Chains A and B, each alone.
Chain A
Amino acid sequence: MTYLNELEQALVGLPKNEQENIIEYYRNYLADGGLSDEEARVKLGESAVLAEKLKADFDQEDGDEVTTRAKQTQPLTRGQFILVILTSPIWLLVTLISFLGIASLPLLAWGIALSLIIVSAFSGIAGAVVLTQNFWGGLFYIGMAVISIGLSIMFSPCATWLVMKATDWTKALLLKIQHTARRVMNHE
C-alpha cells in the first residue's frame, strides 16, 4: 500500500473535505519533492503518526467542527433505543448478509479466475489429443484453452482489486457498527 493510501485510511474521523485537503496537499508535496513512499516515511513520519498529529491539530483549533463531530455520537433517546432493540432482528440480519456479501465477492472472483485456468488446462490437453484424429475439432478445443487463459489473466487484477476493496468495506462497516454500538451503550 502506498504512503498516501495509508494516510487516507488513517484520517478516518476527520470531516471529508479536510481529508481531501490533506491528501491533495501531500499528493502534491510528494510529487513536488520527487519523494518515494520510503522517503515520505522518513521525511513526514509514519502515516499513522502524521494522521494523529493532523487530527490533534484539527480538533485543537476548530471548536465548531469539534462540536459538530461530537454531536454525531450523541446518545440515543429512550424512544430511539427501544426502536433499535425492537428492530434488532432486521438490522442484525442485514449486517450479517452485508459481511457475507463482502467476503464472498473476492472469493467468487478468485473462484472464477481459478476455474478459467482449470478449464483452459483441460481443453488444452483435450485439444492436443483430439488434434491427431480430428484437426478442426482439436483446433476448436485449443482455441477454447487460449480464450480461457486470456480471460483468467484479465480477471485476476479484478479479483485482487475486489480483495482490497472488500477489506476497505469491512473496515468501514466495522466503524459504522462501532459508532452505532457506542450510541446504543450511551442511551439515556
Chain B
Amino acid sequence: MAIRIPNRVLEAVVLSVLKEEPLYGYALTKKIQLQLPISDSTTYPILRRLEQKDLVTTRSKVFAERVRKYYELTDSGQLYLKEACADWQLFSNQINALLGEH
C-alpha cells in the first residue's frame, strides 16, 4: 500500500482489535495483518506508546515456560478509541467527498 498510515489511526486500529480481546504481540500483529498490510515491526512501537499513555495495560501469563504479555484496553483507552474513531470518520468522509469516484 502506497499510503502511509498515520500513527493516530494505527493506534486506534490496535485499540479496536484489543477491545475485542486482550492479545499478545504476535497474535495482535497477525490479526491486524488479516485486514491491513502492516509490517511485523510496526506493532511494538505502537504498543509501547499506548502503554506509556496508559491507554493499554499489560498482564503477564506464563505460557510454555515463558512469560507472555497480554495487552488490554484501559478506560482511557476506550475513550481515546472513541475520539480517534470519530476523527477518522470525519476525515475519511471529507477525503471521500473530495475524491468522489473515478
- Chain A's closest residue to B48 (CB) is A21
In the complex, which residues of chain A have a beta carbon less than 8 angstroms from the beta carbon of B39?
43-45
Q: How far is the CB of A153 from chain B (nearest CB, A)?
A: 30
Given A25-B25, A29-B25, does the pair A43, B40 have CB atoms closer than 8 Å? yes
CA A62 to CA B69, docked complex, whole Å: 22
Q: Which of A49-57, A73-81, A127-135, A166-174 contacts B (4 or more CB under 8 A)?
A: A49-57
**Neighbour of A50 across the interface among B25, B41, B48, B69, CB < 8 A:** B41
Whether a CB of chain B sits under 8 angstroms from the CB of A89 is: no
Chain A residues in 8 Å Cβ range of B25 = 25, 28-29, 32
Within 8 A of B (CB), among A57-77: 57-58, 61-62
- Contact: A28 with B45, CB < 8 Å? no
CA distance A27 to B24 in the complex (A): 12
B88 at the interface (CB under 8 A from A): no
B36-77 near A? 1/0 per residue, CB < 8 Å: 000111001101110010000000000010111100000000
- Give the number of residue pairs across the A-B interface with Cβ within 8 Å: 48
Q: Could you say which residues of chain B place their CB within 8 Å of the CB of A84?
A: none
Bound-complex Cα distance A22 to B27 (A): 17
Q: Could you tell me the distance in whole angstroms from the C-beta of B66 to the nearest C-beta in chain A?
A: 6
> Is A27 a contact of B41 with CB atoms below 8 Å?
no
Interface size class of A (residues with CB under 8 A): 20 to 34
Given A57-B45, A61-B49, do A28 and B40 touch, yes or no (CB 8 Å)? no
Residues of A within 8 A of B64 (CB): 31
Contact indicator per residue, chain A 110-149, by CB within 8 Å of chain B (1) or not (0): 0000000000000000000000000000000000000000
Chain B residues with CB under 8 A of A44:
39-41
Q: Using a CB-CB cutoff of 8 Å, which residues 1-51 of chain B contact chain A?
A: 24-27, 29, 39-41, 44-45, 47-49
| B26 contacts A32, C-beta separation under 8 Å | yes
Whose C-beta in chain A lies nearest to the C-beta of B40? A43
User: With an 8 A cutoff between CB atoms, is A13 at the interface?
Assistant: no
B41 CB contact (under 8 Å) in A28, A53, A61, A62: A53
A25 B68 Cβ-Cβ under 8 A? no
- Among all A-B residue pairs, the 5 with the closest Cβ atoms: A32-B26, A57-B45, A43-B40, A44-B41, A29-B26
Interchain Cβ contacts under 8 Å between A and B, 17 examples = A22-B44, A28-B25, A28-B26, A28-B66, A29-B29, A31-B64, A31-B66, A32-B26, A32-B68, A44-B41, A45-B39, A45-B41, A53-B45, A54-B44, A54-B45, A61-B49, A62-B52
Residues in A lying within 8 Å of B, measured CB to CB = 21-22, 24-29, 31-33, 43-45, 50, 53-54, 57-58, 61-62
